[in-house]
């Protein structure tokens, strides 16, 4: 069995190389297209029996691996029975449960794959075996996703291609095909609203609306081939891959240790998972809407800390708003707001840092940052006042020039009268 596998693989590989070589030759000599030289294609296209999901941009097709590349058979033979016989290496349509192995024949073999891309990964099938999908498939559940569920069967494109089903922006849709289908997911007893929630989350907004491929899609937290819900211990590491400071700050707190003991998820308890909203200062504090109040009770130490932290943030945020309004005023008066802008940038940075520092729940550390920010804000407001005053000093200048001109007007008026009196007295003219 194993030998046979090897033999057929070698055969396949040889064929693939041949086809590739042929494709290269064709490109060089402008030979007829693959659809005419490849007998599988030429018949299947003529009889209109191509796979439903076939797309001509399919990467295998692009690299010259035509139908026979995966399904075996002899593409040079135009006799249907002969070319599609086991003797010709024909393997036909694989069962769903066999697909990971089917794809893995090539994709798990670095010796074969490296000719396409030297650093290509070949552990997908291996990882798949450790995913929830893979584990269930092993146990005979064929409802789960296999390679083709996500990558499609005959329209496979690399993840970097925006047309691909696994391109960052398309991943949520792809996962949602199954995970959003309540009927389909019924037997698994997991929610099916992840996509809807994700769409509203700060990550979803960035990814789907702003089309920011730097934002995480499903696979960035769950993994792709080894997809699994992150465990309690790993959740803060999952978030921490990007939110490094927040993770480190939180990991050092007593609360983190307490969470671990109570089997609470780190970041998720406060920020949620799929629907993680854009964080706001309202999340912390002692009012009912704050996340602290979900566990802490009025009077306990954490409650007190939350109140202090919130006050610190609110004070700085209000001061920053006030200073920004002053800056706008300076700007609208047509005065110079450049230096104020630089100072405000620093004030904002202190606020951002303080908001991150919240994750230490250390009032001293947060206060140090907010005080730094308040000082900057004060400085900005002082600068703004100087500018606004300078603006009004202009009016004093106006007063001086008005005085001079008015004086001149009066003097000139008297002079005219004097001249005319003199003229009258000398000429006697009316």
Which residues of this protein are in contact with other proteins, per CB under 8 A? 206, 212, 214-215, 242-246, 248, 333-338, 341-342, 345-346, 348-349, 352-353, 356, 394-395, 397-398, 400-402, 404-409, 411-416, 418-420, 423, 430
Which CB sits closer to other proteins, 182 or 407? 407
Which CB sits closer to other proteins, 88 or 347? 347
What residues contact residue 346 under an 8 Å CB cut-off, 6+ apart?
A: 376
Least CB distance from residue 196 to other proteins, whole Å?
24
Which CB sits closer to other proteins, 31 or 210? 210
How many whole angstroms separate alpha carbon 326 and alpha carbon 328? 5
How large is the angle between the packed helices 244-251 and 254-261, nearest 10 degrees? Answer: 80
With 0-12 / 13-18 / 19 or more C-beta atoms within 10 angstroms meaning exposed / middle / buried, residue 108 is middle
Closest-CA residue to 250 (of 230, 235, 228, 262):
235
Which CB sits closer to other proteins, 162 or 214? 214
Least CB distance from residue 337 to other proteins, whole Å?
8
Which CB sits closer to other proteins, 349 or 379? 349
Structure tokens at 80: 């249907």
Residue recorded with tokens 């993680």: 276
Least CB distance from residue 316 to other proteins, whole Å?
14
How many whole angstroms separate alpha carbon 147 and alpha carbon 225? 9
Which CB sits closer to other proteins, 66 or 324? 324
The Cα-based distances of 234 to 80, 134, 228, 231 in angstroms read 54, 20, 11, 5
How many whole angstroms separate alpha carbon 57 and alpha carbon 1? 34
What residues contact residue 55 under an 8 Å CB cut-off, 6+ apart?
A: 152, 154, 155
Which CB sits closer to other proteins, 157 or 369? 369
Least CB distance from residue 176 to other proteins, whole Å?
23
Least CB distance from residue 334 to other proteins, whole Å?
4
Structure tokens at 14: 């040889």
Dihedral sign for Cα 235, 240, 243, 245, please: positive
Least CB distance from residue 395 to other proteins, whole Å?
6
Least CB distance from residue 412 to other proteins, whole Å?
5
The Cα-based distances of 73 to 20, 92, 350, 368 in angstroms read 16, 8, 67, 73
How many whole angstroms separate alpha carbon 358 and alpha carbon 381? 26
Which CB sits closer to other proteins, 3 or 401? 401
Least CB distance from residue 52 to other proteins, whole Å?
37
Which CB sits closer to other proteins, 212 or 300? 212
The Cα-based distances of 295 to 252, 260, 298, 311, 359 in angstroms read 20, 15, 10, 19, 16
Residue recorded with tokens 């590491």: 237
Least CB distance from residue 338 to other proteins, whole Å?
6
């Amino acid at each position: 069995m194993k030998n046979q596998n090897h033999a057929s693989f070698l055969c396949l590989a040889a064929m693939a190389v041949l086809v590739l070589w042929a494709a290269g030759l064709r490109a060089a000599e402008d030979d007829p297209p693959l659809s005419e030289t490849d007998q599988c294609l030429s018949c299947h296209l003529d009889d209109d029996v191509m796979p439903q999901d076939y797309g001509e941009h399919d990467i295998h097709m692009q690299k010259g691996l035509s139908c026979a590349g995966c399904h075996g058979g002899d593409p040079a033979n135009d006799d249907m029975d002969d070319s599609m016989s086991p003797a010709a290496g024909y393997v036909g349509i694989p069962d769903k449960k066999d697909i990971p192995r089917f794809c893995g024949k090539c994709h798990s073999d670095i010796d074969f794959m490296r000719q396409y891309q030297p650093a290509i990964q070949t552990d997908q099938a291996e990882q798949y075996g450790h995913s929830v999908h893979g584990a269930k498939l092993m146990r005979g559940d064929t409802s789960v996703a296999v390679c083709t569920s996500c990558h499609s069967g005959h329209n496979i494109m690399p993840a970097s291609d925006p047309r691909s089903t696994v391109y960052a922006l398309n991943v949520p849709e792809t996962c949602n095909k199954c995970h959003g289908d309540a009927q389909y997911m019924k037997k698994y007893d997991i929610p099916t609203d992840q996509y809807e929630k994700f769409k509203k989350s700060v990550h979803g907004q960035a990814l789907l609306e702003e089309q920011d491929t730097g934002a995480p899609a499903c696979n960035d937290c769950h993994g792709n081939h080894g997809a699994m819900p992150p465990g309690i211990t790993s959740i803060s590491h999952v978030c921490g891959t990007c939110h490094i400071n927040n993770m480190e700050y939180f990991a050092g707190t007593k609360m983190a240790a307490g969470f671990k003991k109570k089997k609470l998820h780190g970041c998720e308890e406060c920020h949620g998972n799929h629907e993680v909203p854009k964080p706001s200062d309202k999340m912390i504090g002692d009012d009912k809407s704050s996340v602290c109040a979900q566990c802490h009770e009025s009077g306990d130490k954490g409650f007190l800390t939350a109140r202090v932290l919130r006050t610190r943030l609110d004070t700085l945020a209000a001061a920053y708003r006030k200073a920004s309004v002053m800056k706008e005023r300076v700007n609208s008066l047509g005065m110079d707001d450049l230096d104020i802008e630089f100072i405000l940038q620093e004030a904002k940075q202190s606020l951002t840092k303080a908001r991150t520092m919240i994750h230490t729940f250390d009032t001293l550390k947060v206060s140090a940052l907010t005080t730094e920010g308040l000082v900057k804000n004060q400085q900005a407001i002082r600068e703004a006042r100087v500018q606004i005053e300078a603006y009004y000093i202009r009016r004093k200048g106006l007063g001086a020039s008005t005085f001079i001109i008015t004086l001149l007007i009066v003097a000139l008026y008297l002079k005219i009268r004097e001249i005319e009196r003199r003229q009258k007295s000398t000429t006697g003219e009316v």
